[in-house]
A and B are shown apart, each in its own frame.
Chain A
Amino acid sequence: MSSTLKGITLKGSAELVAEFFSFGINSILYQRGIYPPETFTRVTQYDMSLYLTTDTKLKNYLTNVVTQLKDWLFDCTVQKLVLVITCLETNEVLERWQFDIECDKTAKQSSGPREKSIKAIQEEIRSVIRQVTATVTFLPLLETACAFDLLIYTDKDLEVPEKWEESGPQTIANSEEVRLRTFTTTIHKVQSMVAYKRTDCL
């Protein structure tokens, strides 16, 4: 990924998007308190401070997922990434962060870079992460101990790699859905959305 170049290639795009997911997932895990906050460390990325986990197990897990994701992004075979937050005790799905990924498959054939500066893309990513942070204004408090799960939707004929298993969609019944911002590298477009259990208010 050469930041001196103006354009963006498929490889660069895959890397950028994977990087976004790495920071984004960490950010959500921190914001929603899935892991204790003291297990996170602060780094500066996209001109803002973000939190990355220091828990080695979690780190490994995320690295694995993101690396795999990067491959799929490069192949343009990934459709969605979903972060599901479930109650540890009842296994009930409480929150569902969904990132729809649209891949421009024509980028595989044409090798020329696209016209979009990294700066502009990072600007978009920043606003997505900011919005994710701001969702505490309406998300319900997670009052129980929670676990999380990552689901990746890919094209059908893809073989499932080792340690991955097929899973259901894990949707929330009676949920409230809020669309968040979108960013695009012109090759990959990521649209974010969060769904949460609807409150029993009027």
Chain B
Amino acid sequence: MDAIAFVHICAFTVVFDQCSIMAEGEAEWELCKENIQPLRQGRAISALHQALSQQQEGSNYTAIQQTRQAFESELRIYSGDDPLDVWDRYIRWTQQTYPQGGKESNLSLLLERAVMLFADEKKYYNDIRYVSLWIKFAENSTEPMDLYTYMHGQGIGIMQAAFYIAWSEEFEKRGNLKKADSTYQEGIKCGAEPCDKLQQYHKAFQARVSRQVALNMTNGGQEDSPEPAQPQRSSLASLKHKGKKKAIAPINRTGASVSHHARGLSLNLPAASHHAQNSQIMVFDENQAAVAESFEPKPEQWLAPPVAKAKENELMPEKWSNVKMPQKSKFGHSMVMPPSKPNFQPFVEESDHPPAVTPCKINPAAREQSMYCKELLLSGATEFCFEELRAERYRKKLAQDLEDKEAKLRRVKDELWRQIEEKQRLLLEKSHEADAGHQAQHYVAESDAIQHVEHSLPGPSSSVSQGSTTGFKVFDESVASSSGICPLKVYRDTDSADSVPEPEMIQKNEGESKATPFTVFDESAICEQPQDVVPMVLSKPSARKPLCAIRKLQGDALATRPPSESDCLEGIEPLNEDAIIGSYRNNTLCHIPDDTCDFARAAQLASTPFSGGQNHRLSLSMEGGLAEDVREAGASTSKDVPTFTNTQPGFEGALRVKKLSPIQEASLEDGSCSGSSVSSSSLSGASSMRAMNLSIIPELGSSEAAQNNEPNASETEMEDPTSEAVRRRALEKIDLSSFPNFHKKTEPLPTVNEHEVLSTDDEAFVILSGIISNDSYTMHFGQTKCCENVVMKVDLHPVPWDFYIKTQLRNRLGSDSNKYFSEQSRCFLYEDGCITVSWGHYQGTLQECLAKSPLPENVAALLVIELLELVGQMHSCRLVHGDLRPNTLLLRHRTGFEGLESALRAVDFSHSLDLDLQPEVTSVLGHPGAQVFLRQGVLSPSSSPYQMDLLGIAETVHVMLEKRSMQLVCKDSEWVLAEDLEVVSGSPDVWRDFFSMILNPGTRSTVSVLSELQQLMKKHFNYSIEDELAFIHE
């Protein structure tokens, strides 16, 4: 008995759960049912849910706006031969998305625009889509009859059954059954299609009428029959009937509410029955006769389509019989007023001016022609600006390019497969020939290529099936041949083995990739060449070289940055004015550069200090004092600077290098080399130089790392908690493949080069400019196929740590994580690396922003508050960032929709720690980001890892304010800044407090320190997000 009772309780709770889910989710449409206009074709429940939930919380608002914007722009840039299609889809989408119609749906405006736009397109006249647009338009208008007669007169839809059905139903609604019937007959006579549908409707109509008549005949005597369809209004009408006038109740009182539906509830009150009840013999119905009469005079040909809605400034026709002439009798004589002047000032649109008959205007018909594409700007339901149009065109072009590229790659892939098959066939033939004794000999005689092919592909039959299934991947493998694992390696080996001794070298070396027979992939190399023409750019890698020795992490980032910066030209959309002006181009004006690219190039050549050079000097001085030992070097260089100020900036860095350690002297060599290449400015020399620079970097990094590690090793055996091995061990505890958006691939990491396409199985990414790159990972901006902006991190180790941290952030913080961390990310784990893609649109790193313009103090304060909150959020869920620098923080691109979103985002988590997952990490010891501070003594070997982030914040803030790295001294057992803040003018006290608090957290928890700091900042800087961010956006 007990057991049974238990079961019952269980069953009951399950039911309860389901009910509550229902009540929350599914009943939404039911709650709003009165506000949902029924559609003839029904509604998609998903669209309905979306629309209704949008109303409730406004969360989908942006999604809807985006779709609408997409439609709007499609209307404008559509270039195919069926422009109606876009309108049709747009209007159907609008109907589904705005269930209650209403003004914000713009439905009637859209219908009117669409209908008028194609009013001259005879080819659409009997297109069902166009006709149904007209019918929708008529149903939305106040005078549908006018519209139907107009359509009929123009010949729109006269071959479409739908037109006759709609027209006839309108007649039926108004009680004019005769006309309704004749409309059906006319349609059938005209042979409107589909014929059977029309006949079916006609039959149904006749059935309705006859049933109604029959019903009224039988019910005639017994007035008080329990007929549920007893219309209330007929009793009102009969009251009137008794009066003097013979009029019955106005038809439209029920007419409008009566649906023309063939069945359903609405038939309770059909207008026909209404009349029939008032006067039993329909034919003699006075009112109906009048209605019929009013249609007797054949409507004259419409000159213009009738208007859908009563517009403003229109005087309705009114009775004239009672209108009196106003009399003025004051002086005995009457004054005749001009008749019926409206007592308001009519609003006249400028374009509506009747042509003023002046002698000079000879041809009033010649319309003023605007010199820009006015129609395009105004064509949809909303107005566009030029830039939006331009952006649309640009995006379209981009998508086109991407597609082309993919098609090209596919062709190449097919070609490769063809070759493989060919070779295999040859191989088979050969082996058949040599079936007797000298099989081995033949194998030796064969080229390497064929052998490799055979090894990698078990048999001809399997190779074919592989080819058909793997799609793009095969090709990627061949690209990835540089990593040296792929089976197709042979193709490269045979041709270029001598020129490429080390696989790693090729990967870094874009120039070398030309040597491989895959000539198609030279695009990257080709598009870089024109940029290398600019000599200033070339000096940059060499100038930055000293830095790569100073800090391992930044070395590579800086060294490889120049190409990305010089690529900015590539990214500029050639602003060909054709895009917006089109045929309106005014040829009489003087020559204007067609292309903003030309202009940008010219500007670069004309102005000597191209921003890039300045940029690097800034960053150089910023990095200069980061480490204590390096600070000395920095000081000495700053002493030297005056001596060299008059030298070419490109040499400046190279000369400084002399003061530095032996490792840096290695870089001096290539620094001076590139200097010579500047002077020669030969194309081939430049690119090969670049290649050399790049290939040296890893060595520098590693030797520097070795040097760094030496003292640590002697000090303690503490393991680096961010090392690959540690993380791999940590992640073993977790089943990553159960995470959403995690994709594991059994293939080597594809090469990721700028301006190339990276295809995964369901998505393709274009790699745009790089952000960070060093020997263990690179970061790039990228775009998906549908032009969503992403940041892609390519790890050269197969440890998806970033993805793990991002997922943890989302899991632990919930929706709070959206503020500072990207909402969506995906990870592709390859055999020897992984790619993490996070969505979001960024302007660039904080450092880049700083380099462009100085930050005003209050903007800096805003960013500091955000930074504090960001770190606070991470610490609150026991995550440590570990590498806070202006380099690793990204500034979001503002799109205008997000009032509440932050400006800062953290995307790179290469040095992060998860103290939940790594409970063994209790101190900063071993973490590479802490080493500098450990040496200075700011951090002690027992400091908590969280404190690393506090120092990271302090460093970032200092760079933001002063553009240089902070230097600390210990004063009275407190750490303070070595120099006072110079730039800060407004509130130096606040900043002093800030630094003293953040540098000396003591043993308090970092979360409380951070929140206290936030309060401190907020108290002193009451900012308005909008204003400040507007600044950053510039």
Contacts and interface: CB of A to CB of B under 8 A. Distances in A.
Interface in A132-158: 134, 136-145
A136 B19 contact: no
B33 A182 contact: no
A41 B42 contact: no
Nearest to A142: B263
B22 A137 contact: no
Interface in B22-62: 22, 26-27, 29-30, 33, 36, 38-48
A80 interface: no
A74 interface: no
B22 A138 contact: no
B264 interface: yes
A202 interface: yes
Contacts of A36: 211, 263, 267
B30 A131 contact: yes
B289 interface: no
Interface in B435-485: none
Contacts of A196: 42
B497 interface: no
A116 to B, nearest CB: 9
B37 to A, nearest CB: 8
Interface stretch (A2-10, A161-169, A173-181): A173-181
Contact of A33 (B12, B92, B227, B262): B262
Contacts of B726: none
Interface residues of B, number: 47
B30 A134 contact: yes
Identify the interface centre among B42, B47, B96, B226: most chain A CB within 10 Å of its CB. Answer: B42
Contacts of B39: 140, 199
A201 B40 contact: no
Given A36-B211, A134-B30, A138-B29, A199 B265 contact: no
A136 B38 contact: yes
Contact of B93 (A41, A182, A202): A202
Interface in A167-194: 176-182, 184, 186, 189, 191
Given A137-B29, A186-B12, A199 B41 contact: yes
Nearest to A124: B19
Contacts of B45: 138, 176-178
Nearest to B211: A36
Contact of A106 (B4, B95, B96): B4
B813 interface: no
B265 A37 contact: yes
Contact of A199 (B36, B44, B99): B44
Contacts of A182: 15, 18-19, 22
A38 interface: yes
Interface residues of A, number: 48
A32 B45 CA distance: 18
Contacts of A184: 15
A75 to B, nearest CB: 19
A42 B36 contact: no
A109 to B, nearest CB: 8
Interface in B91-149: 92-93, 95-96, 99
A31 B42 contact: no
Contact of B228 (A41, A140, A179): A41
B22 A141 contact: no
Given A33-B261, A37-B267, A140-B41, A201 B30 contact: no
B981 interface: no
Top 7 closest pairs, chain A to chain B, by CB: A33-B263, A140-B42, A138-B43, A137-B36, A33-B264, A134-B33, A199-B41
Given A106-B7, A141-B38, 20 more contacts: A32-B264, A33-B263, A36-B211, A36-B267, A38-B267, A41-B226, A42-B226, A104-B11, A137-B36, A138-B48, A139-B42, A140-B39, A141-B42, A182-B15, A182-B18, A186-B11, A191-B18, A197-B42, A199-B43, A199-B44
Interface of B: 4, 7-8, 11-12, 15, 18-19, 22, 26-27, 29-30, 33, 36, 38-48, 89, 92-93, 95-96, 99, 200, 204, 211, 215, 226-229, 261-265, 267-268
26 contacts: A33-B261, A33-B265, A38-B211, A38-B215, A38-B229, A40-B228, A41-B226, A42-B228, A106-B4, A131-B30, A134-B29, A137-B33, A138-B29, A139-B38, A141-B41, A143-B40, A178-B26, A179-B26, A181-B19, A181-B22, A182-B18, A182-B22, A196-B42, A197-B42, A199-B39, A199-B42
Interface of A: 30-34, 36-38, 40-42, 51, 89, 104, 106, 110, 114, 130-131, 134, 136-145, 176-182, 184, 186, 189, 191, 196-202
